[in-house]
Structure 1
Amino acid sequence: MLLNRPVPFSFLLGKIKYETLAVFVFANLMFTLRHYVGLEFLSIPLAIPALMGTCISLLLAFRTNQAYERWWEARVVWGGIVNDSRTLIRQLLTFLPEESASARIVQTVAQRQIGWCYVLGQTLRGQPTQPAIKTYIPPTEQAGILGATHQPLAVLQVHADQLRQLYRAGYLTDLQVVQVDATMTRLTDAMGRCERIKNTVFPRTYTFYLQVFIILFTAMLPFGFVENLFFVEVPLVTLIGSAFFLIEKSAIQLQDPFENRPTDTPMTAIAKGIAGSLTQLTGESVVEQPTASPTYFIL
């Protein structure tokens, strides 16, 4: 996620460098043909590219809004994961009897829940999950989770198995089991919503048509300068065309919030915050706090 810090110009230009170069070369070619080759008749009324630019602006606004909604939904889902992770441990601390065995159980569940947050984030980004499993999951449970096809779901199933054991041992009443299970159900729902966002592809035809319209608009723009602006024409065409391409590229990055890019939902940073909260609740001496990012984004 981009932070409230100056974003390097290289980051912005890097997303549209090829498009900017193409527009610059095309604008120079048209400028040469019109002013040095004697093809001044290569012109169209400025109202035509202006009208197309207005239509493209409306489409870009709609596209950016839809992409931001996907990104914001992902952020809301992870906000819910924060709340439900804290609620899960708080419920166990409240419901289980005050004894050393119960404290160890809650600490185990807390560490497993921290591991689940990291494993879910790494799975959504297509990154290795073994380091998180080795760090936070008890050794007796690691083999089953590592061998599972859906590792985050496997971690939640271990949660459920331990909940059943606590209920059969008489540590939890019927009502308490229902409440804890409802919390784990919300965690499962949040995982499913993340997977829906990840696996639902934004309509490719919409992206293709919008890119074609931007290219047509940029191609017509040099012909709309009836006045002789001379050396100002090329910078203007390049700047205006690049602005449209930049907005379109920004929407493309926002629509996929789980791709390990600076515009991602900060799942790793959120997981670190959850780790700090849960270790505080369980009274562990080592509390993992979120680390400040030295760059202009966090992941």
Structure 2
Amino acid sequence: MILDRNLKWEVIVFYTWKSMLYYLLLSVAVYLIHGYYEVVQLHLPFSTLTALSTALAIFLGFKNSNAYDRWWEARQIWGQLVNSSRAWGRQVTTMIIPTDEQEAELVKKLQHRMVYRHLAFVHGLRVFLRKPKPYNGTKQEEIVEETNEYSDTVAFLSEEEYKAFWHKNNPPNYLINLQGDDLRRAYERGWLSDYRFVQLEQTLVAFNDIQGKSERIKNTPFPRQYSFFSRVFVFIHASLLPFVFVDEIGWASIPVSVIVSFVFLCLDLVGERMEDPFENRLEDVPLTQLSLAIETNLKEHWGDNNFPVSKNHKQGIML
């Protein structure tokens, strides 16, 4: 997630230079041919582009609005994970109560295991959502965070649990099932009353809901016809601009055409970069920072001062 108000121009150029080079070369070619070959008339009336520009602006506005809605929903889902995680840490340490002093140490170990296993769930869900999609014949996106592996969960699980965890088809869901098993055993031993058992189980259900909602956004892409046709329409619009301006303003048609094309290109890219918020890119929901915030909160609640530090933090960016 980008935090700076001003985007770095090297980032903008990275995503736009190929298209901008095409717009520039086309504008120069149209101007030269129109000016030096009188028999070739490349001019188009301004009304030709007016309707297309209006329709394209409306289309891009609709696309960007819906892309932002997907991004904001993803951020709200992970905000709920932060809140529910804090509640989980408090519930585990206050609701699981030993029946006598001899069991106090066992209860303490159980609480520690369940709190730290939840940290493994949070980091595991982050990695699960950011796992690469199968190659579809297009150029792969850049990866912002270099370490996006299940090894991030090793410190929070026992050796046996970790070996089973990362071999699962759905590792985060496996951890929730383990939490449910521990709750059941705690209930059977009398450490949980009926009411407290239900309360903790409801929190686990909330984690299931959060994971399910995240998976829905991850596995249901923004309708690709919007992305495809927006690129096509922006390309057509930019290709027609030099023909409209060349007879009206002469050589100035070159910078004007390039600038107007740049505006529509950026509008298209803004929506395209936000429509999939779990792809580990600059514009995505900052899952790493939210995961580390949860880890810090739960460790502080437990009394562990070994707080995490973001290894992949970049100035002006939350990963």
Whether TM-score is above 0.5 comes out as yes
**Aligned-residue CA RMSD in angstroms?**
1.9
Q: Which runs of 5+ in 2 are unaligned?
A: 99-103, 133-147
1:183 counterpart = 2:203: yes
CA 254–104 in structure 1, closer or farther in 2 if over 3 Å, else same: same
Q: Distance in 1 between matches of 2:310 and 2:246?
A: 57
Q: Bigger shift: 128-137 or 212-221?
A: 128-137
Q: What does residue 303 of structure 2 align with?
A: 283
1:7 counterpart = 2:7: yes
1:137 counterpart = 2:157: yes
Secondary structure of the 2:3 match is: coil
8 Å Cα contact 2:77-2:210 kept in structure 1: yes
8 Å Cα contact 1:27-1:237 kept in structure 2: yes
1:149 counterpart = 2:154: no
CA 102–289 in structure 1, closer or farther in 2 if over 3 Å, else same: farther
How far residue 31 of structure 1 moved from its aligned partner, in angstroms, is 0.7
How far residue 291 of structure 1 moved from its aligned partner, in angstroms, is 7.6
What TM-score, normalized by structure 1, do the two folds share? 0.94
How far residue 236 of structure 1 moved from its aligned partner, in angstroms, is 1.1
1:52 counterpart = 2:72: no
CA 42–129 in structure 1, closer or farther in 2 if over 3 Å, else same: closer
Q: What does residue 26 of structure 1 align with?
A: 26
* Pick aligned residue for 1:201 from 205, 221, 228: 221
8 Å Cα contact 2:121-2:172 kept in structure 1: yes
8 Å Cα contact 1:266-1:298 kept in structure 2: yes
How far residue 229 of structure 1 moved from its aligned partner, in angstroms, is 2.4
8 Å Cα contact 2:92-2:114 kept in structure 1: no
Kindly provide the amino acid, as one letter, of the partner of residue 295 in structure 1.
Answer: Q
Q: Distance in 1 between matches of 2:295 and 2:207?
A: 16
8 Å Cα contact 1:97-1:171 kept in structure 2: yes
CA 226–285 in structure 1, closer or farther in 2 if over 3 Å, else same: closer
How far residue 96 of structure 1 moved from its aligned partner, in angstroms, is 2.1
Secondary structure of the 1:86 match is: helix
* Pick aligned residue for 1:257 from 272, 277, 300: 277
Kindly provide the amino acid, as one letter, of the partner of residue 182 in structure 1.
Answer: Q
Kindly provide the amino acid, as one letter, of the partner of residue 21 in structure 2.
Answer: L
* Pick aligned residue for 1:234 from 254, 265, 271: 254
Q: Bigger shift: 107-116 or 287-296?
A: 287-296
Q: Distance in 1 between matches of 2:221 and 2:39?
A: 45
How far residue 190 of structure 1 moved from its aligned partner, in angstroms, is 0.6
What TM-score, normalized by structure 2, do the two folds share? 0.88
Q: Distance in 2 between matches of 1:274 and 1:226?
A: 58
How far residue 112 of structure 1 moved from its aligned partner, in angstroms, is 0.9
Secondary structure of the 2:37 match is: coil
Kindly provide the amino acid, as one letter, of the partner of residue 59 in structure 2.
Answer: L
* Pick aligned residue for 2:266 from 230, 233, 246: 246
CA 276–267 in structure 1, closer or farther in 2 if over 3 Å, else same: same
How far residue 97 of structure 1 moved from its aligned partner, in angstroms, is 2.4
8 Å Cα contact 1:33-1:39 kept in structure 2: no
Q: What fraction of aligned residue pairs are identical, expressed as a percent? A: 26
